Amino acid sequence: MTKLKNTNSRLKELRSAIDDIDENILNLINKRLQHAVDIGKIKKESGNRVFDNVRENEIMQRLSSLNTGPVRNNVLLHIFKDIISESRELQRPQKVTYLGPQATFTHIAALNHFGSSVDFIPQPSIRDIFIEVEKGTCHYGVVPVENSIEGSVNYTLDLFFESELKICAELYQPISHDLLAASGSIKDIDIIYSHPQAFAQCRKWLQKYLPDIPRKECSSTSFAAHKASEKSGAAAIAGSEAAGIYNLQVLANNIHDYAHNVTRFLVIGKDILPFTGNDKTSIMFATAHVPGALHRVLEPIAASGINMVKLESRPAKHENWNYFFFVDLEGHKDDDKVSKTLSDMKTLCQYMKCLGSYPKAQ
């Protein structure tokens, strides 16, 4: 009896201490947010942007280096992502548009990058995302640009030729496909909905477990989940986040064929970001349609020792058999070495445009 009494007394003491700590945390969060409001006023007077990806990366890196546990770094950064998101909201409400509807992987990537306090606005197409940001209706857009298994999202690349928007950030989102349905059994499934890429990324699993079930392509995995929620016997391949939104059950987890399935997303906007020391620069260019033209344009990169991390070609829409090339380089366009390299390349191109310099994703 005495032991139980001592245990209850210790529990009460610890819970009281936690209440005191929670109160201090609450007061400190509100104090931090008030400082953010004051910073917002200064930004407004000076004309600076509210969303400062460079500063936010510095905060996250500093917190990670200071963390001694037991809180895990990913949990710590998630908490501060929402605090920073609320800071931006108090400074000036931000509107971020993405490829919808809710619970698409683009939506999840946007949430992970901006936090939950911004105003997220879904769009039916990638072109609509570019249009809304260009008009100023939304501050930023989030678009997919390449998948580690399926390759580049060509439509996104093509739209950069038409647009003057800049790449403001990049982010990598792990892609996990689950089989969702209103029914609790795989045996009840008579049709499967999903996006063509999701079907492609789950080909082996489907062939093994549901080889004879018809498949219906949808504009997004989220819309597929919506369709599955409306029809008995229907299933969807989508992220598990869609299950909660559309009241579905997860019948099978991680049904994708390859474990390391990651999509790279870009944040597009009108910001021109400063040098951080850990940057990436994206450019697009066109060369003359003559032998050796591409080799000559790329020579300054090799000569400078700059690391080229991506080279992609896309057909030019205005002339048959001509191509645009997309290149990602390590470094910032204002860095002397990168600046000189881009200048040397430009003299060898028919057309060249810098799509932006931005911090490399962590």
The answer to whether 357 and 273 have CB atoms below 8 angstroms apart is: yes
- Side chain identity at residue 31, one-letter code: K
Report the pLDDT value the prediction gives residue 305, as an integer from 0 to 100: 93
**At 97, phi and psi to the nearest 5?**
-110, 150
Residues in the chain: 362
Domains and CATH numbers, the chain: 20-89 (1.20.59.10), 95-175+262-268 (3.40.190.10), 181-252 (3.40.190.10), 272-359 (3.30.70.260)
> CA-CA distance, 289 to 303, in Å (whole number)?
23
Alpha helices in 92-182 (DSSP H): 105-114, 126-135, 154-162
- What spatial distance separates the first Cα and last Cα of the chain, rounded to whole Å? 54
**Distance set, CA 240 to CA 115, 250, 263, 281, 359 (Å):** 19, 7, 16, 34, 29
**Eight-state DSSP code of residue 41:** H
Q: How many helices (H) and strands (E) does the chain have?
A: 12, 15
Burial class of residue 355, CB neighbours in 10 A (0-12, 13-18, 19+): buried
Residue where the block lists tokens 């474990």:
259
**Distance set, CA 324 to CA 55, 151, 269, 319 (Å):** 34, 17, 22, 11
Alpha helices in 202-357 (DSSP H): 203-209, 221-230, 241-246, 293-304, 336-346
Query: What is the rounded average pLDDT for all residues in the chain?
Result: 88
> CA-CA distance, 285 to 301, in Å (whole number)?
14
> CA-CA distance, 318 to 340, in Å (whole number)?
30
3-class secondary structure, 171: strand
Give the residues across from 327 on adjacent strands: 283, 311
pTM for the full predicted model: 0.72
> CA-CA distance, 342 to 2, in Å (whole number)?
78
- The ranges of the chain with pLDDT < 70 are 1-4, 44-51, 92-93, 317-321
**At 123, phi and psi to the nearest 5?**
-130, 150
pLDDT digits (tens, 9 = 90+) for 228-245: 999 889 999 998 888 988
The answer to whether 193 and 297 have CB atoms below 8 angstroms apart is: no
